[in-house]
Structure 1
Amino acid sequence: MTGPVWITTPVTADLLRGALDVERTEHGVLPHRLPARARAQCSDAQLLMAESQPSGVRLVFRSAATTVELDALPTRRTYVGAPPRPDGVYDLLVDGRPAGQASVTGGGHTLTVDLAAGSSAFCPGKPGTVRFAGLPGGTKDFEIWLPHNETTELVALRTDAPVEPARPSGRKVWLHHGSSISHGSDAASPTGVWPALAAALGGLELINLGLGGSALLDPFTARALRDTPADLISVKIGINLVNTDLMRLRAFGPAVHGFLDTIREGRPSVPLVVVSPILCPMHEDTPGPTALDFTTVAEGQPWFQPMGDPAEVASGKLTLRVIRDTLARLVEQRSAADPNLHYVDGRDLYGEADAAELPLPDGLHPDAATHRRIAERFAERLLGL
């Protein structure tokens, strides 16, 4: 008995959704969530890692295939002294419904990070394969959501039936920017990240610019938002500014105004939602920076802790309470001339009662159940817009 006749389809930008740029590499293509011009303006390793991790990026096509194979080259992170991290998960949707999960087998680069020393070592690897088999017959719409927390080069797409581009979805495009929570920290899989869940609940086409550790009001991110066509834009602002202790209150308000002004240069009337931080007890009244408690790393459940002094708020240091108060006033001020500007208090998405029921496992990031709760609550607000 002969096996399937494989058809190889080049992975090109027209098969990808959720990426703002696609880089040709030695092995294939690397989706980016920030354009090349933005990447050229910042050499920060955290930002470059975050934007290359394809949260919300998916391979989309139509086919009658019953077996699909995707050769990919992931970059897997390991941490000195910590248990191994699970491999990145690929979620398959067929006609919009979950149809399988898998991970790349037999390949990948490895990035070993020594948090205590502040150093890393890169070990190159080879591509591996993720496989979905036993799928129903007939022409159908495929979406392969790439791992939200694993930089992924796409090498080859193979199917046992021809592939054609997906039809336009007809859904409104939601463009979202936020921190590691929006990026997907501690979510179980790429479709379990809260913006992906909210988009599915709201029937929206997601472009997720959640950038772990990097929602810092960077002008190049504002320009990326300005230049990306969308029917709805949201920006979740605050926690990373506290984590990094990046700026003081004097700079914060003008920086937010400038960020929103830039977006409005290209999208003057699109509904624009400013979202303040969800509840994070450690930083409600204590400023940053935030530090990792290295004694917890080996246990497999790291814990973050605040390093600032509440007394420093008087001299302009930022806390989440200060940020929420400032954002609420700023949006109220601007909305008189911008009726399509809206404010959502992050504590309405995850507040004190939620923290008692579903505490943040590492003190900073929500677990999978909390991602769903945040998504359900935010989807209600999106539908209202």
Structure 2
Amino acid sequence: MAELVEQVRAFTEWVGAGRKLTQTGRLTLADAKALVPLLGTSDVLEQTIGDHVYRTRSSERLLDLMLVVECAKVAGLVRKTGQRLVQVKKNQALLDDPQKLWLALFTRFDQVGEVFLRPGFGESLLRPEFADGSRAALTSLYNAEGAVDIARLCTTVWNVVSAPYVLDDLTELQLETLRITTDRDTKQVLEALRRLGAVTLRDESAELTDLGRAGMRRLLGMPEAGDPIYQVKITLLEIEGLPVWRRVLVPADIRLDRLHVVIQAAMGWENYHLHYFLDGETHYGEAEPELQYRDERKVRLKDLVKPGGRLEYNYDFGDSWDHEILVEEAKVATADGRYPRCVAGQAACPPEDVGGTGGYARLIQILGEPGHEEHQDIVGWLGLDDPSRFDAARFSLDEANQRLAVQR
């Protein structure tokens, strides 16, 4: 059994009937000190530097232990209720099924968050962007045929986690420090995945284990033969002229955050903007407190929609592109099938930031009128040498599936 899985099991059993928490909802320092040797974490309770002894004064500073605690939480084995930490009885069967427990921990690893990465002074960009950064590392490992240089993984993660920030005003030293701390935390993530049994680390490279590769297939929504899949039709609403739609085969239990990626790739969007799903009553989206959406990572398509049912998807709150997701029928995956897979479609995806359905209609109108005063401006905005190169009716099934393959 993987080291981290065993530690999570032992911690859950230690919680037993419940343990008292501090007023801030943390483990008491006394309990934390007892857990470090019990679980065999690598945390240092006190450190001597010169003549001074530095002692840990808060459990949240024991980052290795915090990883174990958070893993138990995201797996649904324990939860905080009031000022106590208690077991979740309905999920205790996971403790007797190491395979299911491992899968629960692996597929929810991106929900662990920043608890086991260094906070405060010297904090990295990976810490607040943990979900995207950890997923980028795993996807890069999955797409590789063999081992990947850790330096290359660090670059991949840096490119992803730094993208949301404007760093132009930083000094060279500040930028270098951010990069160093982010690389440090990327290696911490790889070490955590090694302890989970998902990654093998050797020399300066990392590689997914067979277990990790199987877990990635589940994480990316790639079903096994015989598993249920949905045939869904994604239609862009309120488009004048030729309707824009895609027909896609997806696993029935695909998470909504993965379905978002599928829609982006199949339609041809570039994932620049925010989005949400709506089932008629509840909004689902990224776990941002300001948005107050239900976390899309914790909801699966089959739990919201059955064959014949519909779901709304909105992309870009400015242009407000509304899509209808119609579950046309339920099927089963075949042994040689690739999922998600686009099987049909019609018309081109509108350009990003064109101004919504009204702006898109106006763009098409101006492109069709070479004498229009804004014609050349629109051609230049699209980055075209020849306006005929933009064909609103064009759809390529091969290109749609190439985009889907890259997004995995």
Bin the TM-score by the shorter chain: under 0.3
Structure richer in helix, relative to its length: 2
Of structures 1 and 2, the one scoring higher in RCO (CA 8 A, sep 6+) is: 1
